[in-house]
Amino acid sequence: MQSIENKGRRIFMSSAAIAALLLGNRAAWALDKGTAGRWPKVAPPQSPRIAHVIEQLGRKRDDSYSWMKFIPAGGERTRENLPELVGTMLKAENKYADAILAPLADERAKLLDAMLARASSDVAAPALEKDGWDYASARPAGAAHAVYTRSRKGGKPETLVDEAERAKGPPYFRSTGHQPSPDHRYFAWAEDVIGNDRHRICIRDNQSGAVRTIVDKDAYGYGGLVFAPSSRWLFWIWRDARNRPTRLYRTSVDGKTTDLVYEEKDPAIFMSVKRTAADGFIALTLAGPETAEVRLVSAADETAAPATVWPRKIGVRYEIDEWNGGLVALTDADDAFDMALLRLDAKSFRTLATLVPHRPGTPILAILPLAAALVRLERVEGLHRLVILHPDGTEKTIGFDDPAYAIELSPEQSYNAASVMIIHQSPKSPRRWISIDLASGKQTVVQQQAVANFNPDDYEVERLFAPAPDGELVPITLLSRRGAPKDGKAPLLQYGYGAYGISSDPEFSIPALALVDRGWRYAIAHVRGGSEKGRRWFLGGRKFTKRNSFTDFVACAEYLAAKRYTAKGKVVAYGLSAGGLLVGASMKIAPTLWGGVIAQVPFVDMLNTMSDGAHPLVPLFRPDWGDPLADPKAYDYIASISPYENVKAAAYPPLLCTAGLKDDRVPYWEPAKLVAEVRHRSTSGNPALLHTDMDSGHQGSADLKSEYQQKALFWAFAMRCV
């Protein structure tokens, strides 16, 4: 028997009763009211609606699917420890999704083959030279994982990590943080073999070839490990039981000694650790959405307690690096909301000079200090540009003529290099690694991503601007086949994110090309909530202005239809994580605008999640969303925009949601609840699908085939929708 809570009472249900509720009444089910013959006539699961009244700040709501939430008392969620009702629900949902999607098998296979064929000789990155060693990573032809190597000039490559070998056995594998020690004796990386973003850390001794696991679990891999300047220690970040990075440890490279360096008590603070550019310090950055604090450990005394540069202060964000014999701070202090660059004294931490003043509308995104120059990445009119600042104060600007493109600074570059390596790409231009001479600015293409059966002249990239309801112009990056007519007949997939100040940069995508090759257009809507136009663009789609993100997204689709790039009903919306909130809310605002909606691990149960103080990310992101536990205004605003809370009777388009069973960021029950509610209220008869990966978390396993398989599923679903 399975028990569930209902207003303080336990209701006991037999397995047969559970199955009946989940499978529904097949005889009575009527599907395809508006899309006859497009989808198989398969009865969807009918998840039970069980009253669960929540009283909060004098307000009441009934979360009828609250029973879907399961957090184990200890350890991780697995297939084996799920409550019977939840396990039965997820199995039924996967079975139903598989049945509805079964007719797409041939199209999915064709899409996957097309993607893999173009990526058959994709190279991960060119070698980066460090002290006479060339470090490189590449994905061999036909392989799904990368191989990391090093070599002397002209010498035979030495394999450091073969990810395909590491990935054998576990159902999930994703690695990150690959790096050599400063003396090149060791090579370290973090790997997740469970799917819950909790890593183990491995070190290879390059003299013997032996690999040791020096941290067996609970490490944070993303910006969470770095060698000390002496190469004697590895500094790494630990995640607590709630998956929050809260401690910095120092472990000897032989794994025999581990010391606690710092512990953070504030759950609203995130941690990252790095070595400064000239190897003078270990920098621990403690940051929230509206504050930061950096603590430094000097290379002169690697076992000393870290020293605080500036104590944290609400409203002041900063990060620290090292250049030209001193420290530099990238900061928004003194209302420099798009960031200024300051020079600091390395001992007293006082400000000595302003290297780059604040320029509203020209945000500084990143800096890379090198001995010969300080390189910074910034935006102008939403597009990247590179600026080389020399120690004498002179500057050289590097830009590109593409209508839309993206630049990134290649990581792990040698401080003494005479050139800087960047990666340039656009939706129709594969990644190019370009070496830029720091003295002359001369550009040399070192390597280009190999893409088979591809001619960039077959495609066209446009930069468009859609008027939002309040008059703001929302940038759109649009990829089409060259010469495609603007007659309103082409279907279009529109992607967006719009949260946390993260920009959706116009990058090269083999999956996007595969879709466009089938007569589609592919659009990126650069809505507010991202930082495409600087900090103010972010703030215009945050907290009590969050609705702007959704209306921007709708405005982009309507503009593209009005300009005959597509038509209403032919646009499929696609969003990931917080982008799932974007497409879920946009579906509610304009249900008939969309031909379909794809929401990948979507954040759609806002009110309940932000009311859960135990959630690992809730304290950190209250400044972004509000606090419905303490602020009535925040409660009311979130309640007014949360997709799950606002499903009404409407003719919703086909909906496909995905989830990961082990996801602690956006747990499976968020999309599960939305799908159940849409299915309960939709008047269209279109399917609402949930597919849960029972072995992964917020991200799938990091092999190319798995990534492309998911995109092939999404694109085939989109094609069936329109």
Q: Residues 569-628: pLDDT tens digits? A: 999 999 999 999 999 999 999 999 999 999 999 999 999 999 998 888 899 999 999 999
DSSP for 515-569 reads HHTTT-EEEEE--BTB-TT-HHHHHTTSGGGTHHHHHHHHHHHHHHHHTTSS-TT
* Mean pLDDT along residues 413-442: 96
The first and second tokens of residue 227, run together, are 């060698």
Per-residue confidence at 13, pLDDT binned at 50, 70, 90?
very low
CA separation (Å) from 47 to 113, 293, 627? 36, 47, 30
Per-residue confidence at 702, pLDDT binned at 50, 70, 90?
low
* Mean pLDDT along residues 486-515: 97
- Domain-located, residue 675: no
Supply angle C-alpha 446, 451, 454, rounded to 5: 120
Average pLDDT score over the chain: 92
Q: Residue 165 and residue 186: Cα distance in Å, rounded?
A: 19
In which residue are the tokens 């990239």 written? Answer: 461
Radius of gyration of the chain (CA): 26
Range of the domain at 400: 361-450
pLDDT, tens digit, 9 for 90 and up, residues 93-109: 999 999 999 999 999 99
Evaluate if residue 125 carries a pLDDT over 90. Answer: no
Evaluate if residue 558 carries a pLDDT over 50. Answer: yes
Per-residue confidence at 35, pLDDT binned at 50, 70, 90?
low
- Domain-located, residue 643: no
pLDDT, tens digit, 9 for 90 and up, residues 234-268: 999 999 988 899 999 999 999 999 999 999 999 99
Nearest to 563 by CA among 467, 469, 482, 653: 467
> Residue 294, Cα to own-chain centre: how many angstroms?
24
In the chain, the largest separation of any two C-alpha atoms, in whole Å, equals: 80
Nearest to 691 by CA among 598, 629, 606, 624: 598
Q: State the pLDDT at residue 134.
A: 93
* Mean pLDDT along residues 353-365: 97
Q: State the pLDDT at residue 15.
A: 44
- Domain-located, residue 410: yes
In which residue are the tokens 């039965």 written? Answer: 88
pLDDT, tens digit, 9 for 90 and up, residues 362-378: 999 999 999 999 999 99
- Domain-located, residue 432: yes
Per-residue confidence at 120, pLDDT binned at 50, 70, 90?
low
**Local structure of 593: helix, strand or coil:** coil
**Local structure of 482: helix, strand or coil:** coil
Per-residue confidence at 121, pLDDT binned at 50, 70, 90?
low
Q: Which residues contact 206 (CB under 8 A, 6 or more apart)?
A: 150, 158, 160, 184, 185, 186, 187
Per-residue confidence at 75, pLDDT binned at 50, 70, 90?
confident
- Domain-located, residue 234: no
Q: State the pLDDT at residue 74.
A: 80
Q: Which of 152-156, 334-338, 414-418, 490-494 has the lowest mean pLDDT?
A: 152-156
pLDDT, tens digit, 9 for 90 and up, residues 282-322: 999 999 999 999 999 999 999 999 999 999 999 999 999 99
Give the rounded percent of residues in the chain with a pLDDT score beyond 90.
Answer: 84
Q: Which residues contact 67 (CB under 8 A, 6 or more apart)?
A: 4, 5, 48, 50, 52, 85, 86
Nearest to 153 by CA among 137, 131, 133: 133
- Domain-located, residue 136: no
Per-residue confidence at 123, pLDDT binned at 50, 70, 90?
low
Per-residue confidence at 700, pLDDT binned at 50, 70, 90?
low
Evaluate if residue 210 carries a pLDDT over 90. Answer: yes
Q: What is the tally of structural domains in the chain? A: 1
* Mean pLDDT along residues 479-502: 97
Evaluate if residue 17 carries a pLDDT over 50. Answer: no
- Domain-located, residue 380: yes
Q: State the pLDDT at residue 1.
A: 35
* Mean pLDDT along residues 387-412: 94
Evaluate if residue 28 carries a pLDDT over 50. Answer: no
Orientation angle between helical segments 84-101 and 669-681, nearest 10 degrees: 60
Per-residue confidence at 560, pLDDT binned at 50, 70, 90?
very high
Global pTM value: 0.91
